[in-house]
Amino acid sequence: MHQVMSKAGASASKTLIEVDLSESPYKNEMIHNRWHPDVPIVAWVKPGDDFVIQTYDWTGGFIKNNDSADDVRDIDLTIVHFLSGPIGVEGAEPGDLLVVDLLDVGALPESLWGFNGFFSKKNGGGFLTDHFPLAQKSIWDISGVYTHSRHVPGVSFAGLIHPGLIGCLPDQKLLDTWNAREAAFIATDPDRVPPLAAPPFAATAHGGSAKGAVKDKIAAEGARTVPPREHGGNCDIKDLSRGSKIYFPVYVKGAGLSMGDLHFSQGDGEITFCGAIEMAGWLHLKVDLIKGGVAKYGIKNPIFKPSPIVPTYNDYLIFEGISVDEQGKQHYLDVHIAYRQACLNAIEYLSKFGYSRAQAYAILGTAPCQGHISGVVDIPNACATLWLPTEIFDFDVMPSAAGPVKHVKPGVDIPMSPDV
Ligand code: ZN
CA–CA dist 135, 122 (Å, integer):
9
- Read off the DSSP letter of residue 26: G
- Give the architecture (CATH level 2) of 15-305: Sandwich (2.60)
User: 259 near 55, Cβ under 8 Å?
Assistant: yes
Can you tell me the mean pLDDT for 338-345? 98
**Position 234 pLDDT exceeds 50:** yes
| Residue 276 Cα to ligand 1 middle (Å) | 6
* DSSP secondary structure of 297-351: HT-SS-EEE--S-------EEEEEEESB-TT--B-SS-HHHHHHHHHHHHHHHHH
273 CB-near residues (< 8 Å, 6+ apart): 118, 119, 124, 125, 126, 127
Nearest residue to 58 via CA among 87, 81, 30? 81
In the chain, DSSP finds a helix count (H) and a strand count (E) of: 7, 22
**Phi and psi angles of residue 264, each rounded to the nearest 5 degrees, phi first:** -75, -35
Please report which confidence band the pLDDT of residue 410 belongs to, taking 50, 70 and 90 as the band edges.
Answer: confident
Rounded to the nearest integer, the mean pLDDT of the chain is: 96
pTM (predicted TM-score): 0.95
411 CB-near residues (< 8 Å, 6+ apart): none
| Residue 234 Cα to ligand 1 middle (Å) | 8
**Position 392 pLDDT exceeds 50:** yes
**Position 191 pLDDT exceeds 50:** yes
- Report the pLDDT value the prediction gives residue 9, as an integer from 0 to 100: 45
Q: How far is CA 316 from CA 368, 369, 392, in A?
A: 11, 9, 10
Residues counted in the chain: 420
Nearest residue to 105 via CA among 281, 305, 287, 286? 281
**Position 387 pLDDT exceeds 60:** yes
Cα 93 to chain centroid, rounded? 28
**Position 29 pLDDT exceeds 60:** yes
| Residue 129 Cα to ligand 1 middle (Å) | 17
Whole-number percent of the chain with pLDDT over 90: 95
| Residue 265 Cα to ligand 1 middle (Å) | 10
| Residue 273 Cα to ligand 1 middle (Å) | 7
* CB-CB neighbours of 270 under 10 Å: 25
Task: Indicate the residue type of 195.
Answer: P
Can you tell me the mean pLDDT for 265-281? 96
CA–CA dist 332, 198 (Å, integer):
27
Pairing relation of β-strands 83-89 and 43-45? parallel
pLDDT single digits (tens) 209-224: 999 999 999 999 999 9
- Report the pLDDT value the prediction gives residue 287, as an integer from 0 to 100: 98
Nearest residue to 40 via CA among 258, 302, 291? 258
| Residue 340 Cα to ligand 1 middle (Å) | 19
Can you tell me the mean pLDDT for 120-125? 94
CA–CA dist 73, 156 (Å, integer):
26
User: 312 near 288, Cβ under 8 Å?
Assistant: no
| Residue 185 Cα to ligand 1 middle (Å) | 24
Can you tell me the mean pLDDT for 291-299? 98
**Position 5 pLDDT exceeds 70:** no
Nearest residue to 262 via CA among 374, 142, 152, 381? 142
- Report the pLDDT value the prediction gives residue 415, as an integer from 0 to 100: 95
The boundaries of every CATH 2.60.120.580 domain in the chain are 15-305
- Report the pLDDT value the prediction gives residue 172, as an integer from 0 to 100: 98
- 316-338 burial, b if ≥16 CB within 10 A, otherwise e? ebebebbbbeeeeeebebbbebb
CA–CA dist 123, 136 (Å, integer):
12
| Residue 180 Cα to ligand 1 middle (Å) | 26
Can you tell me the mean pLDDT for 31-60? 98
**Position 261 pLDDT exceeds 60:** yes
User: 55 near 83, Cβ under 8 Å?
Assistant: yes
| Residue 400 Cα to ligand 1 middle (Å) | 36
**Position 4 pLDDT exceeds 70:** no
pLDDT single digits (tens) 56-87: 999 999 999 999 999 999 999 999 999 999 99
Is 267 strand, coil or helix? Answer: coil
* DSSP secondary structure of 50-116: EEEEEE--TTTT-S-SSS--HHHHH--GGG---EEEEEEETT--TT-EEEEEEEEEEE-TT--EEEE
Is the peptide bond preceding residue 163 cis, with omega within 30 degrees of 0? no
| Residue 117 Cα to ligand 1 middle (Å) | 10
pLDDT single digits (tens) 82-105: 999 999 999 999 999 999 999 999
| Residue 77 Cα to ligand 1 middle (Å) | 13
- Report the pLDDT value the prediction gives residue 11, as an integer from 0 to 100: 55
Please report which confidence band the pLDDT of residue 294 belongs to, taking 50, 70 and 90 as the band edges.
Answer: very high
